[in-house]
Amino acid sequence: MSVVTLKNGELTAAIDAMGAQLTSLSLGGKEYLWQADPAVWGKHAPILFPIVGSIRDGKAESAQGEVTLGRHGLARDYEHAVVAQSEGSVTFELTDSEETRSAYPYAFKLNMTYELTGPASLTQTFRVENTGDVDLPFSVGGHPAFNVPAPGGEGEAFDDYELAFTKPWSCVAPKICDGGLLTYRTAEMVIDRSDVLPITHGLFAADAVMLSEVPDDTLTLRSRVSGHGVKIDFPGFKYIGIWSAEGDAPFVALEPWTGHATLDTEDNVFEHKRNITILAPGEVDERSFTVTLL
């Protein structure tokens, strides 16, 4: 495996070419990113492509034939080639192959760029190009998980943390149901005219919480005690998933998504998935989110 390290002053990031996954994000030698304890959750920050979440029974119909994908797609399971690199930036590339086309029958080029864009900020950019001669349907998403308590908050409790928004708002969140599908039948109002959402392990009893149309496409995961945590800005991503593993997992994942799992009310046609992106041949779609360490 090949790991690329980026540095900008006291900010350091490491990215593994296997899955083009961020594996470390530290400031002044203090680690903010979850370190993939396999006894809890053995990943750091997988990339999600060409689906976010699950499709019904792992299968869907498409204009090009059957799609057979596990949760969050296939990009995280392949080695990505490094195609550009500097001290503060690296770009990876994954293209379709006979193997990927057996599961996802489309031609594509996925570039993942990680760039240190400030003294405490990392920007992650998804660039998808349709290299085929038919329309390309897909979703992308990030999945970085951050240590809670954060560096500087030693001695704090998980429940000392909250999500802070730029203004009061309300959000009704769907639930993940059988088979990993999404349902609004048991949706709950998780934010009611407030600019904060307290973080507790109980919040994730039914898996991830999906927020949509977050004010100003930004939120902050922070301690009410010390103020330490992370801020994430995600323009161009309609949704953000908030998740932590079962039990007392000491992390929270902040996951910008362009799409989501199949709704229990949807059919099995891949192109019919709500908010799926469809690119014409030769077109490019580019989205970025930025994490700032606090």
Query: How do residues 50-61 score in pLDDT, each as one tens digit?
Result: 999 999 999 999
Tokens read off for 58: 């792992």
In the sheet that 239-243 helps form, which strands lie side by side, from edge to edge? 145-147, 251-257, 239-243, 209-212
Under the banding of pLDDT at 50, 70 and 90, the label for residue 140 is very high
Average pLDDT over residues 192-216: 96
Beta pairing partners, 161: 223
Percentage of the chain exceeding pLDDT 70: 100
Average pLDDT over residues 119-124: 98
- pLDDT (0 to 100) of residue 85: 96
DSSP label at residue 150: P
Distance, in Å, from the CA atom of 60 to the CA atom of 87, rounded to the nearest integer, reads 42
Number of domains in the chain: 1
- pLDDT (0 to 100) of residue 48: 98
Q: How many CB atoms lie within 10 A of CB 261?
A: 30
Domain that holds residue 193: 3-293
**CATH number of the domain that residue 116 is part of:** 2.70.98.10
Say whether pLDDT at 1 is over 80.
Answer: no
Hey, which bits of 177-213 come out as E strands? Answer: 182-198, 209-212
Query: How do residues 210-258 score in pLDDT, each as one tens digit?
Result: 999 999 999 999 999 999 999 999 999 999 999 999 989 999 999 999 9
- Peptide bond connecting 198 to the previous residue in cis, omega within 30 degrees of 0: no
Distance, in Å, from the CA atom of 265 to the CA atom of 284, rounded to the nearest integer, reads 30
Percentage of the chain exceeding pLDDT 90: 98
